[in-house]
Homo-oligomer: A and B are copies of this chain.
Amino acid sequence: MKSDELYGLLRRRGFLWPTAEIYGGAQGLYDYGPLGTALKRRIEEAWTAWFVGRSEDYYRIEAADLLPEAVVRASGHLENFTDPEVACASCHSVFRADTVLEKVRPEGVDGLAPAQIAELVAERHVTCPKCGRATLGVPVPFNMMFGVDFGVTGHERAYLRPETAQSSYLAFPRMWEVGRKALPLGVAIVGRAYRNEIAPRQVLFRMRAFTQAELQIFFDPERFDVPIDAVGDEVLPVLRVPRREKGEESPEWVPVRELRSAELPDFYLFHLVHSYRFFRDALAIPKERIRLFEKSSTERAFYNRIQFDIEVHLESLGGYKELGAVHYRGDYDLSRHAAGSGQDLSVVTLDGRRIVPHVLELTFGVDRNLWAQADVHLGREEERTVWKLPPALAPVQVGVFPLLKKEHGAYARALARELQAAGIVAEYDDAGGIGKRYARMDEAGTPFCLTVDGTTLDPASAEAGTVTLRHRDSKAQERVPRAELAARIASATRLALAPV
């Protein structure tokens, strides 16, 4: 589906809508309704189970999203977290430089100095996208952080964090202290980050307040053991810099063992595989849609030593979009905060060396991935609209219907309660005909429906006590004894986690 159609459907079903909609909305802000909230939480839980839950050394924390100025000064965000902004002298509209240069320089303006951008604008006779006149000025850096006056004095500033990662770096010394004082140590946050984007767009893709799931792994660069042999046969869809420079856009499939090199050390590769598998196995993204996109040294942030973006081809947005990434940030973050705070953030390894731990960051955009689940799995099929969500992500796990409200309603309600008591998200529905109820559940991504009918309640029937279990994807139906339902649905909606 196209973006507008997809968004229309999500909005109509109450998955999401613009914040303060009755006031005309607020650019770049969205609210999630009941189904969207549940789906978002399932994605967050799946991410946590996958990246944090299987390790005894990794922990999830929760931190304030306001940070004192000293923190973002040390991290470099106060100085560098900017986008070049261009104003039109005629109509006073303001644009991101990459937007006004979109046609003449589709690859963006990363790495260009303001003077170079101004030169391009002049040379190529670029006009204001709004009024059409050639009155665009020289770009100025626009800091994308939201700042607030903190406290009553008017002298203190705080900033909404531009990335959750900063909170994890701040937590490192305390986590070291309360933990087992060994590396690797992983600190994960699922939480909000905020960016005053010049041009929010593409609904959940460039938001001004959004949810990130990020794991910072603090490690010893001389010793970060990973079971690389266990994943050596995995084949990855990579698009590396040399091929990109030849103009290639599609990935090539390369076995992990062939990617091992000094440039791509085992610890990095292992976590790239781990992230790729999350998209393929937990999020059920067809592997043909995934591209592991290597960023060159000029494209990535200067402190990143290695960066692959995990991209997924989205029909609604007409191309590959970044949904996650693996960043090897070296010791940049802890060194900056050590300098900024005057605290010693080095640690002593088990074999007695004093080091500043390095950081490997696994980052994941929760909102974007919610959108991707719709793009990839929601579609029209014959007469119906069906969202083939991975069962472990479904907001509602089972719909429970009486064939006839009057005759079978009480039994169906009791069945729904019984399933709920077993920890299953069961939704009772008796409105409209069975077909309409299936249609509602199909659109919401509910993998199973149960229907209670006369046979269920007929003591003379050989199938007494069974209900009809209907499968979303195949529409296949079967009769299942009530006593088996809870275990069967629980097992089918559980996230499969292979040991790492």
Contacts and interface: CB of A to CB of B under 8 A. Distances in A.
A118 B431 CA distance: 63
A20 B70 contact: yes
A170 B26 contact: no
A170 B21 contact: yes
A37 B63 CA distance: 9
Contact of A423 (B13, B59, B423): B423
Contact of A22 (B12, B22, B60, B337): B337
A225 interface: no
Interface in A418-432: 420, 423, 428, 431
B64 A23 contact: no
Given A14-B178, A170-B20, A208-B66, A85 B148 contact: no
A14 B160 CA distance: 24
Contact of A56 (B142, B171, B428): B428
A31 interface: yes
Contacts of A146: 66, 148-150
A393 B37 CA distance: 22
Contact of A31 (B17, B34, B62, B345): B62
A153 interface: yes
Interface string A301-340: 0000000000000000000000000000000000001001
B170 A22 contact: yes
Nearest to A153: B94
Nearest to A345: B22
A151 interface: yes
A175 B62 CA distance: 29
A14 B174 contact: yes
A33 B175 contact: yes
Contact of A178 (B33, B85, B151, B179): B33
A62 B37 contact: yes
A388 interface: no
Contact of A196 (B38, B68, B149): B149
A309 B166 CA distance: 37
A341 B22 contact: yes
A142 B149 CA distance: 12
A451 interface: no
B20 A67 contact: yes
Nearest to A178: B14
Nearest to A174: B17
A471 interface: no
A94 B152 contact: yes
Nearest to A211: B62
Interface in A141-158: 142, 146-153, 158
A221 interface: no
Contacts of A17: 174
Nearest to A341: B22
Interface string A372-399: 0000000000000000000000000000
A192 interface: yes
Given A153-B94, A170-B21, A196-B151, A59 B34 contact: yes
A27 interface: yes
B61 A32 contact: yes
Interface in A81-110: 85, 94
Nearest to A490: B423
B152 A63 contact: no
A194 interface: yes
Interface in A425-446: 428, 431
5 smallest A-B Cβ distances: which pairs? Answer: A14-B178, A31-B63, A34-B59, A146-B148, A29-B64
